[in-house]
């Protein structure tokens, strides 16, 4: 019999698209000071570049509330491409009239609790030592199979829905409750229960989870796309009663934006 206490505590994950969220505020006083022809020229240049970025995996959103005016979300294959996107934006004349209030960097992440438990148990039954060459080989084969099977989820397009809700989050670490000290089997149980709630909303909301440990100030980023913004409230409120959220979740700031095609950027900048 295998002893799960001797399994590595870290569940396997597979990663896909790199994601950058940019929250921007328009410097309205400086923008209004320009004459109309100059504003039109700047908007024309920015709309053309935004259209190219849109075709490559970016989305433009009009932010609701005081946290900014615009939110841009970029899905790319790697960080190098994210860097190219950032540089292309800073070369725009419009950038002189924008203030980046915050940003968030992450990568699409799929946790493999079930596959992890299965492959760890199989290796333990055969008395394969953790992190030995044989262990590492089978782990990599498992990851390769999962990457192939999950390719569409690892490299998604920006969903076309009308609204986006983005927020970062952590798993709680405290004196009494520490997510990272729970046994893997217990974390797996709680995440299965947690995921079951999200699956009930599968027809009305598209959820993309990204990992940001080592990349940004929180551990995960959550993107929810829907045509009805009330779905965000209902889904997140229901999840607050779920054990993994009620006990262990810590949430950052929430950002809600309305999808705006690049060709309509001028409407957002009208004075």
Q: Answer yes or no: 255 catalytic.
A: no
- Is a pLDDT exceeding 70 seen at residue 104? yes
Lowest mean pLDDT, pick from 10-14, 178-182, 217-221: 178-182
Within its chain, how far is the Cα of 116 from the centroid?
22
How confident is the model over 182-198, as pLDDT tens digits?
888 899 899 888 888 88
The full set of domains in the chain, from first to last, is 16-108 (3.30.70.1030)
122 token code pair? 């199989």
Q: What is the mean pLDDT of the chain?
A: 94
Determine the Cα–Cα distance for residues 38 and 44; give it in Å rounded to an integer. Answer: 10
**In this predicted structure, what is the pLDDT of residue 148?**
96
Give the mean pLDDT of 46-57.
97
**Helix or strand run (H / E) with residue 184:** helix 184-200
**In this predicted structure, what is the pLDDT of residue 1?**
42
- Is a pLDDT exceeding 60 seen at residue 5? no
**In this predicted structure, what is the pLDDT of residue 154?**
97
Closest CA to 232 of 164, 168, 169, 171: 164
How confident is the model over 202-261, as pLDDT tens digits?
889 999 999 999 999 999 999 999 999 999 999 999 988 989 889 999 999 999 999 999
Q: Which of 97, 163, 167, 248 is catalytic?
A: 167
**In this predicted structure, what is the pLDDT of residue 195?**
84
How confident is the model over 113-135, as pLDDT tens digits?
999 999 999 999 999 998 899 99
Coil vs helix vs strand at 115: helix
Q: Rounded to whole angstroms, what are the CA distances from 211 to 30, 60, 199, 271?
A: 37, 22, 20, 38
């Amino acid at each position: 019999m295998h002893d799960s206490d001797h399994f590595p505590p870290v569940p396997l994950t597979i990663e896909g698209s790199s994601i950058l969220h940019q929250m921007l505020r328009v410097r309205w006083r400086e923008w209004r000071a320009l004459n109309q022809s100059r504003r039109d020229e700047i908007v024309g240049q920015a709309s053309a570049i935004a259209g190219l970025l849109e075709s490559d995996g970016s989305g433009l959103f009009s932010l609701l509330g005081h946290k900014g005016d615009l939110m841009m979300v970029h899905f790319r294959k790697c960080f190098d491409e994210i860097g190219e996107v950032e540089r292309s934006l800073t070369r725009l004349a419009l950038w002189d009239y924008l203030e980046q209030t915050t940003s968030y960097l992450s990568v699409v992440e799929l946790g493999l609790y079930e596959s992890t438990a299965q492959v760890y148990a199989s290796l333990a039954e055969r008395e394969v030592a953790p992190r030995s060459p044989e262990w590492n080989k089978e782990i990599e084969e498992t990851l390769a199979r999962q990457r192939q099977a999950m390719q569409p989820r690892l490299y998604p397009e920006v969903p076309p829905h009308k609204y986006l809700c983005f927020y970062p989050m952590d798993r709680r670490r405290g004196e009494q409750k520490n997510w990272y000290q729970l046994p893997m089997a217990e974390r797996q149980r709680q995440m299965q229960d947690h995921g079951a709630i999200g699956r009930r909303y599968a027809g009305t909301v598209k959820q993309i989870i990204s990992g940001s440990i080592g990349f940004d100030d929180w551990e995960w980023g959550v993107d929810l796309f829907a045509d009805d913004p009330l779905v965000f409230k209902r889904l997140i409120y229901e999840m607050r009663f779920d054990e993994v959220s009620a006990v262990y979740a810590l949430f950052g700031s929430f950002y809600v934006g309305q999808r705006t095609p690049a060709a309509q950027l001028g409407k957002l900048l009208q004075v």
